[in-house]
Amino acid sequence: MTRSLFVASGYESVGEIFEKHHSHASAGASFAAFVAGKKVVDLWGGQQKDGSPWRDDSLCVIASGTKGICAVAVLMCVERGLIDLEAPIESMWPEFAVGGKGEVLIGDALAHVAGVPGLERQVSVAELSDPIYMAKLVAEQTPFVPIGAPSYHAMTFGWIAGELVRRADGRSIGNFVRDEIARSLDLDLHIGARDEVLPRIAETTRASNYNYTALSDPNADVRLKHVYGMIPAERGTSSFAKIELPGGGGVANAFSMARLYAMLVNGGELDGVRLLKPETIAVARRQRSLGDDPLSGRLLRFGVGFELNPNPSQLGAPPNAFGHTGAGGSTHGAWPSLLTSFSYTMREFQLESDDTRAAELLAALHAC
């Protein structure tokens, strides 16, 4: 799909903010927004790492923004009667019962309370490349935070969601997303990108001071290395995007992610294609966990896979905002009260405490 840069009348201030951060000589990015299913902003600009211009079909790693895509896949299986969010996870996945975590309800496991936010062992890239094996490791992991306490399952969320979809449907979550979500809505998003997609993926770069915020504090809980230590530097490369990494390895552009959330905020239907019922989306947006992460101290608030306002993530001003942000700055979500969806994807990862890009874009969008 070839598109033209677009800013609807009344949304010019959003374009001005985007231009401030992503002029032709800066790191490339894209931003898009929809209102009531209609595009109001579709922007891209800046450069690839090699200096070539960002294009309408450029893709980049969206890190934990991938979790929102996973949530949609799970919800589609729920509607088909294949997953019961109120059933213990061991009813679908008996091996997950190690350490007492099998009694956690499936919906709660997807709200980051299963007690296994990471793995207490090193994993290789070859192991990361096998989602079935990684799900086995998560199942075998004894909880190292209290079950029921929200603790951010940075990568393990993806293997939990992926294994549930695989056991329910038979397909890997990457193939499910490709067949049932991306193809249905004509979205350029991928969990496990195919070879023909790789040339369009912009290599991630990092600001000179970039680090995962949780690991930058010398007084941080040592267990955080089990959560973030398995995330390799190669994640930002196109070759690594071939791996099905549902916790944080998806690639997309802002246009596609904003369309995905436009479907959600429009009651599960977009352009005559229905993926979900409104009541299923309402269940997903209902709070299932709230509290300070015992490892990072960060306030967490989750529905079924979605971050919910208010929380420290950049989801904009509306109190009923939901979506999912990603490491380095990517931001994707919706404001149901305004029938608005949005997405920001970018090549350069910046330190959370320094990064104002998404916050400024969402503030301008909200003002419009």
pLDDT tens-digit profile of 108-128?
A: 999 999 999 999 999 988 999
Does the pLDDT of residue 313 top 90, yes or no? no
Cβ(150)–Cβ(104) below 8 Å: no
User: Model-level pTM?
Assistant: 0.96
**Mean pLDDT for all residues in the chain:** 94
Domain boundaries, the chain: 6-367
CATH topology of domain 6-367: Beta-lactamase (3.40.710)
Q: How far apart are CA 230 and CA 232, in angstroms?
A: 6
Secondary structure of the chain in HEC code, one letter for each residue: CCCCCEECCCCHHHHHHHHHHCCCCCECEEEEEEECCEEEEEEEECECCCCCECCCCCEEECHHHHHHHHHHHHHHHHHCCCCCCCCEHHHCCHHHHHHHHHHCEHHHHCCCCCCCCCCCCCCCHHHHCCHHHHHHHHHHCCCCCCCCCCCCCCCHHHHHHHHHHHHHHCCCHHHHHHHHHHHHHCCCEECCCCHHHHHHECCCEECCCCCCHHHHCCCCCCCHHHHHCCCCHHHHCCCHHHCCCCCCCCEECHHHHHHHHHHHHCCCEECCEECCCHHHHHHHHCCCEEEECCCCCCEEEECCCCEECCCCCCCCCCCCCEEEECHHHCEEEEEHHHCEEEEEEECEECCCCCCCHHHHHHHHHHHC
Q: Tell me the one-letter amino acid at 148.
A: G
What average pLDDT does the segment 239-248 reach?
91
Q: Which residue has the higher pLDDT, 343 or 126?
A: 343
The band of 262, judged by pLDDT with boundaries at 50, 70 and 90, is very high
What average pLDDT does the segment 79-106 reach?
98
